[in-house]
Amino acid sequence: MIAIRKKAARIARRAGRVEGDIEEIDGAQRAAARRACPNNAPWIKSSSRPKRSVEPGSLSDFLAIPDRPLAVRDDGETMPDRVTPALLIRPLGPDAATVDALAGLLVETVAGGGSVGFMHPLDPGAAAAFWRAALEAAARGERIVLGGFVGGELAGTVTLQLALPSNQPHRAEIAKMMTHPRRRGRGVASALLREAERLAIAHRRTLLVLDTAAEEGAAGLYEKHGFVRVGEIPDFALKPLGGLTGTLIYYKRLAG
């Protein structure tokens, strides 16, 4: 029994958990431990003790982006690829499953009061039609719609608008930043924003522009990532559940 415990502990450490003991194995690590032990020993279970909170920058805070050999942490630092990726980010195409996932996220965001250009209640058919048109525009190269996935499920999205007037070929716009309510506060939006910036630079854009609601918007996120507030337009739009809100205008210069 002691030998089995030690083996499971080594498996957990290789999966990236370097602190705690075997009683705290959970999720994918618990599954890995079961695969390593054919008899599915009953002691491989979650701890009954309260879980310790994870501080930003710890080993559990890593994110991975496709087409890169390293895992990417929320503060931008890289670590070896032995770290189990938590979030996968990729451009999205106009397939039916993607449209449905984005539509569901949009409906839930609006129902929660997110100011993303729609009123509550939002008809799922209207949400699907919006994303279908957006993804078709992406297929034409007019924008890039990014999706962040955790365990195969859509955790968040952001759009990089590239098709702008001919006298503004040097800039792009950030739009439709949304994170699923269950995934908020875990670095999803930060990772999406960083990837959008990387793609903007790849498309030779040197200036990003965006706006966010003055009430319950994402001002803190954008300022954390170096966006400069220009000002506020009062009473700019209706909130999804009623009442007017202003909008905050931001920009960020990108290093080419």
Going by C-alpha positions, the residue among 75, 76, 31, 23 that lies closest to residue 48 is 23
**pLDDT (0 to 100) of residue 27:** 46
The mean per-residue pLDDT over the stretch 237-247 comes to 97
pLDDT digits (tens, 9 = 90+) for 100-115: 999 999 999 999 999 9
Residue 3, amino acid: A
Residue with tokens 């919006």: 130
The mean per-residue pLDDT over the stretch 30-59 comes to 37
Does pLDDT of 5 surpass 70? no
Quickly list DSSP for the chain. Answer: -HHHHHHHHHHHHHTT--SS-GGG--HHHHHHHHHHSTT--TT-S--SSPPPPPPTTSGGGEEE-TT-SSEEETTS-EE-TTSPP--EEEE----HHHHHHHHHHHHHHHHTT--SS--SSPPHHHHHHHHHHHHHHHHTTSEEEEEEEETTEEEEEEEEE----TT-TTEEEEEEEEE-GGGTTTTHHHHHHHHHHHHHHHTT--EEEEEEETTTSSHHHHHHTTPEEEEEEEEEEE-TTSSEEEEEEEEEE---
CATH number of 88-253: 3.40.630.30
Mean pLDDT of the chain: 78
- Domain parsing of the chain, residue ranges: 1-52, 88-253
**pLDDT (0 to 100) of residue 256:** 65
Rounded to an integer, what distance in angstroms lies between the CA atom of residue 128 and that of residue 48?
A: 42
Q: What is the pTM of this model?
A: 0.69
